[in-house]
């Protein structure tokens, strides 16, 4: 990778980092920073309906999850800055091959080439999908004790 290309990726990382920092600050204010007078002011003198509280809670949780996603990308950007300092930016952390320039233009903070990213994502999805189902496979039968435990099939039902 040439110095000009590296400088271009550094500029892209810096622009993305500053935009995400602003987004995270805004989302934090939205989710957590209601002024006291605004939060307690009830102009209509009508009790707050439970559905309104549920909607407000959902909106706050949604905003917090967006903020968490943005913070994760900021962590990946910080890791990209570390790779630039170490001289390994643009190399796949899994196989060591060069990451295609088209991928770096779209995701300048990526640490995997396309093939390795597929493998990593697939293994993460499989493990996160199957984990809740693996635990019940080894659960004891609720009406049996000791050695008379009924095994579970792949769908989590007792056989």
Shared domain for 98 and 126, answered yes or no, is no
**What's the total number of domains in the chain?**
2
Contact criterion met (CB below 8 Å) for 67 and 29: no
What does the pLDDT look like over 18-55, one tens digit per residue? 999 998 888 888 888 754 434 444 445 556 777 777 78
What does the pLDDT look like over 86-138, one tens digit per residue? 999 999 999 999 999 999 999 999 999 999 998 888 877 666 555 555 444 44
71: helix, strand or coil: helix
Shared domain for 35 and 55, answered yes or no, is yes
Shared domain for 35 and 82, answered yes or no, is yes
Shared domain for 85 and 137, answered yes or no, is no
Contacts of residue 106, defined as CB under 8 A and 6 or more positions apart, other chains included, come to none
51: helix, strand or coil: helix
């Amino acid at each position: 990778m040439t110095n000009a290309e590296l400088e271009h990726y550094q500029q892209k990382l810096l622009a993305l980092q500053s935009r995400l920092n602003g987004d995270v600050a805004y989302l934090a204010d939205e989710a957590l920073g209601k002024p006291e007078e605004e939060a307690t002011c009830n102009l209509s003198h009508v009790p707050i309906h439970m559905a309104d509280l549920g909607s407000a809670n959902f909106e706050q949780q949604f905003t917090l999850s967006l903020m968490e996603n943005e913070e994760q990308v900021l962590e990946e950007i910080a890791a990209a800055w570390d790779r630039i300092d170490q001289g390994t930016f643009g190399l796949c952390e899994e196989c060591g091959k060069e990451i295609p320039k088209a991928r770096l233009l779209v995701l300048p903070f990526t640490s995997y080439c396309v093939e390795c990213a597929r493998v990593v994502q697939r293994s993460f999805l499989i493990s996160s999908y199957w984990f809740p189902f693996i635990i019940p496979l080894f659960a004891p039968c609720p009406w049996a004790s000791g050695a008379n435990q009924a095994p579970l099939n792949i769908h989590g039902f007792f056989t």
